[in-house]
């Protein structure tokens, strides 16, 4: 599964107004670790379908949202619940580590 691409224009509708938690990956085409974590996030999206949406936002093409959430390094992943950021992860990680952090973020 490829992750849905979102933009500054649809961020509010796709993430902040979502009925379910959303993990947003802030990425860029030039970012090697972003490409490394992409298949892991796609796998998480498949496994958690219905409980968690996973989307990606290109930081180079969508600087407004990236600046709003003070994204300074890539990849940065932020879990949103009820329109609010509840957990932030920076850098590529193994799937088991991402699963643990997502579980923690969703349990809060």
- Contact present, 5 and 56 (Cβ < 8 Å): yes
The pLDDT value given to residue 59 = 98
Indicate if 31 belongs to the active site: yes
Q: Name the active-site residue from 3, 22, 24, 34.
A: 34
Q: Is the dihedral of CA 89, 95, 100, 102 positive or negative?
A: positive
Q: In whole angstroms, what is the distance from residue 103 CA to residue 108 CA?
A: 9
User: What is the assigned CATH class of domain 4-107?
Assistant: alpha beta
Indicate if 54 belongs to the active site: no
- Per residue of the chain (108 residues), give pLDDT as tens: 679 999 999 999 999 999 999 999 999 999 999 999 999 999 999 999 999 999 999 999 999 999 999 999 999 999 999 999 999 999 999 999 999 999 999 997
Q: Name the active-site residue from 6, 22, 31, 77.
A: 31
């Amino acid at each position: 599964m490829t992750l849905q691409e979102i933009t500054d224009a649809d961020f509010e509708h796709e993430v902040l107004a979502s009925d379910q938690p959303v993990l947003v990956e802030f990425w860029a085409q030039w970012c090697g670790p972003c490409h490394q974590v992409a298949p892991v996030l796609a796998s998480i999206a498949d496994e958690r379908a219905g409980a968690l949406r996973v989307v990606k936002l290109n930081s180079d093409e969508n600087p407004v949202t990236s600046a709003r959430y003070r994204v300074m390094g890539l990849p940065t992943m932020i879990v949103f619940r009820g329109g609010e950021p509840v957990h932030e992860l920076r850098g590529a990680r193994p799937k088991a580590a991402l699963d643990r952090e997502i579980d923690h973020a969703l349990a809060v």
